[in-house]
Structure 1
Amino acid sequence: MTTQPPPSPLPSLRDLRRLTPARVGLGRAGGSLPTQALLDFTLDHARARDAVHSAFDSERLAAELSALGLASCEVSSRVRGRHDYLVRPDLGRQLDPASRDVLAAFGGACDLALMVGDGLSPTAVNARAVEVVRALLPRLAAAQIRLGAVAVATGARVALGDEIGVLLGARMVLVLIGERPGMSAPASMGAYLTFGPRPGLTDAERNCVSNIHAAGISNDEAAFKIGWLVRESFARQISGVALKDDSALQGPDAATPLVERR
């Protein structure tokens, strides 16, 4: 007579908590959360708020990008202060007049313009933008994509890159910007790519590489995905919902040359 092995125990909430940073199975103390769970929540909430209001080190970023051999300049949107930025997102999508004059000095057609903006987490951009660009540059060079000037933008929303792209005569704009902080990821950066930038475009015309942070997408992985999307966008003359990110189907060393230029 054969004996059946005992059934495996059902997964517990403790097992689930090991698989996700989400707040599950926190328990309770009477009608409230346990003290430790409440303290953890309060700390994560404070970190998220700090990330939103942290200082944007635009001067250092511009200097380090220049050290990579890139022509960089500092620009600003029309917002005046962080409170203005949070309550008037429309102003974060428009350059102030002085910045337009600054960008005019960097005129000249290019394949790709780059905007590095503070967004909703300057902390993330301060920590990651330069390293992502450093890892991206060899991929752009291998695909013969000319990177034009880099605008380090304060008070920036994603769509500010569209106006910058037009002023720099770019066929495509890449925006590196701080993402809205989450309770488990206060310092996350996103990358947005738009082919044929112009004011008035919607996010449907953009591709996004999101969750670039310590527990998410690494700097090197982000550079690989961005490089793949840039190459494919130029080759197909599209971006946004029409361009699917199939970079995972290729190895990280795959290089597709730019097949159409003008």
Structure 2
Amino acid sequence: MKTPAPPSRSLEALRELTPARVGLGRSGASLPTDALLAFTLDHARARDAVHTALDAPHLIAGLAGLGLQVSEVSSQAQSRRDYLRRPDLGRMLDRDSRRALEQQSGCASELVIVIGDGLSPAAVNVHAVELARHLVPRLTEAGLQVGHVVVASGARVALGDEIGAVLGARMVVMLIGERPGLSAPDSLGAYLTFAPRIGLTDEKRNCVSNIHGAGLSYEEAAFKIAWLVREGIARQITGVALKDESGTALIAARPID
């Protein structure tokens, strides 16, 4: 068997900058065994992330430890199979969950945070509480009060619209597991929607994505989300009408040496 040629120095340097699969080489007409095994392992991790169970008790305990009042709801997707085959069911609350939220809607909230399992419950189990730990103080500093925190199972992004509408929120922040990739099976995303209501589409939302160990840090993500929440409420917009200029704000806030 012909031994694969070693990669050039330029490819080695590129590999240090990205988790993408570049310059894998070949063995005959196939990939080298190491590259094939690594691909197979990452594919298995991505599949496992989709089917991991949402650890709602862990999330609720962690969020309560931050002094937040937490509710638990479910979508109309009664199983993971239903969730994957019927995306529409993941966008609607089941009857009992809606009734329970309606009983809490006596006073409108400025901001509601929804934590949904999405396509990677593994990401939510690992990152959601820690992101909230960094986010809530930044929201408080900006004069924003978190009215409700809702943990939602079987959730698609649009489920946050119904939850926010039922609770009378001016803004909803949905923290949700993103579609797993081969380099990031546990990536968390944050979707922000001003004046949430059923029937909104994605151009009405802002998204902060790629929150995981090798991506956006909790501190960076919390800064961006808090900026977007503050500006979205002040300008009464989110989505394509609200550009993320948090980077400019961060540069302006840094002291000059």
Given the two structures, how large is their TM-score scaled by the length of structure 2? 0.92
Shift of 1:250: 1.7
Larger radius of gyration: 1
Counterpart of 2:200?
201
The answer to whether the aligner puts 1:238 opposite 2:228 as a matched pair is no
Counterpart of 1:215?
214
User: Contact 1:117–1:152 (CA<8 Å) still a contact in 2?
Assistant: yes
Which amino acid letter does the alignment assign opposite residue 56 of structure 2?
S
Which amino acid letter does the alignment assign opposite residue 188 of structure 2?
M
What is the rounded CA distance, in whole Å, between the counterparts of 2:251 and 2:175 in structure 1? 21
| Alpha-carbon RMSD | 1.4
What is the rounded CA distance, in whole Å, between the counterparts of 2:28 and 2:55 in structure 1? 46
Given the two structures, how large is their TM-score scaled by the length of structure 1? 0.90
Shift of 1:64: 1.7
Counterpart of 2:72?
74
Which amino acid letter does the alignment assign opposite residue 225 of structure 2?
I
- Among all aligned residue pairs of Structure 1 and Structure 2, give the percentage whose two residues are the same amino acid: 65
Q: Secondary structure at the match of 1:207?
A: strand
Counterpart of 2:4?
none
Q: Secondary structure at the match of 1:250?
A: helix
The 1:34–1:209 alpha-carbon spacing in structure 2 relative to 1, beyond 3 Å, is same
Provide, for residues 121-144 of structure 1, a one-character-per-residue CA deviation record: whole Å limited to 9, x for no partner. Answer: 111111111111111111111222
Q: Secondary structure at the match of 1:115?
A: strand
Which amino acid letter does the alignment assign opposite residue 243 of structure 1?
L
Runs of 4+ more than 2 Å apart: 10-19, 251-254
Which amino acid letter does the alignment assign opposite residue 30 of structure 1?
G
What is the rounded CA distance, in whole Å, between the counterparts of 1:42 and 1:178 in structure 2? 22
What is the rounded CA distance, in whole Å, between the counterparts of 2:131 and 2:252 in structure 1? 16
Counterpart of 1:259?
none
Shift of 1:251: 2.4
2:63 pairs with 62, 65, 90, which one?
65
User: Contact 1:106–1:149 (CA<8 Å) still a contact in 2?
Assistant: no
How many correspondences in the alignment?
245
Which amino acid letter does the alignment assign opposite residue 29 of structure 1?
S
Instruction: Extract unaligned runs of 5+ from structure 1.
Output: 1-9, 255-262
Which amino acid letter does the alignment assign opposite residue 248 of structure 2?
L
Counterpart of 1:128?
127
